[in-house]
Amino acid sequence: MDIVARTVHGSSVADVAWLDADGMPHGCGAVVLLQEKKPVLAFSYAHEVLARQIASADQVALVMTETRSTSSTFAPAALIGRPALIEDTEGYLFTDHLLPQELRRYPPARVYADSLVLRREYWWYLPRLIVSFDIDATLPMPARSVPQASRGADKPAPDDAKSVSREHVLAVAVERRIETHLVRMPDPGLAKTVTLQPVEDRALPSGPAVLLGQEASFPDLARWSTWRYRGFCHGNHFEVSEPPSSIGLESIPSVWQRVSRQRAFGRACRAGIARAEQIRPMR
């Protein structure tokens, strides 16, 4: 098994970073899957805009540094590659090749797709936008340290921001390419400039940048929060131009919130499928 397959197969959640047409960096959290030894991201039509943004980038970095819920094959790394979009409106590619990985790696998917009965009921769920990557470079990365309050299988993931790992993935635009680092940062509060400490012995570059953070309730991933700081990196100093609205693991949603989210998700998926097929929604 090569380094790409080892890293993806053994990983849990990942940080994805890319540059838009203006050379500005963007990022999100994702679960990376494998399709014929190629890394892929699978999106439902509810996330169509995000899927097309990533697929239209010249270069994407798939950064896997989280060590919780990983397998023995996992090796932290950043995979730098060129994306291509596969629009599978019937969902056959995902069902035939990616579904077992999704159910194993992302437990919330079991609510919608863990049986033929569920897949018929939630026919709209199956991801139909598959972004595949040809990998040009594989860069070793340090592993994220586990937040102190999250250690121990018998302890639930905390809800307050104080327990959030101070380690973030830094993605910097450097001469129309993307460079990634794992960095520690203090709680920025309302500060406009924060000091970054690289986890490994590599100098931090200068350029437009994003800081990507995330936390999840492992191993069920029932709650999964991601956040992003936008700004400009001057070596070890990061000028914050756009802070996130919140950081840390979200609170446990109520039953009504869960139902409302599921309904909204279903509507968005069905609407996207209808647009893709250029037909009037039948359900």
β-sheet bridge partners, residue 38: 35
- Mean pLDDT for the stretch of residues 138-150: 82
Q: Which domains does the chain have, with CATH numbers?
A: 3-277 (2.30.110.10)
Which residue's entry shows tokens 């309730």? Answer: 217
pLDDT band at 172; cut points 50, 70, 90: very high
| C-beta of residue 171 within 8 angstroms of C-beta of residue 179 | yes
Strand 177-184 relative to strand 193-195, pairing? unpaired
Question: What letter would DSSP give residue 66?
Answer: -
pLDDT (tens digit, 9 = 90+) per residue, 96-137? 999 999 999 999 999 999 999 999 999 999 999 999 999 999
β-sheet bridge partners, residue 232: 208, 239
Amino acid at 55: A
Question: What letter would DSSP give residue 264?
Answer: H
pLDDT (tens digit, 9 = 90+) per residue, 178-195? 999 999 998 777 789 999
Name the pTM for this structure.
0.91
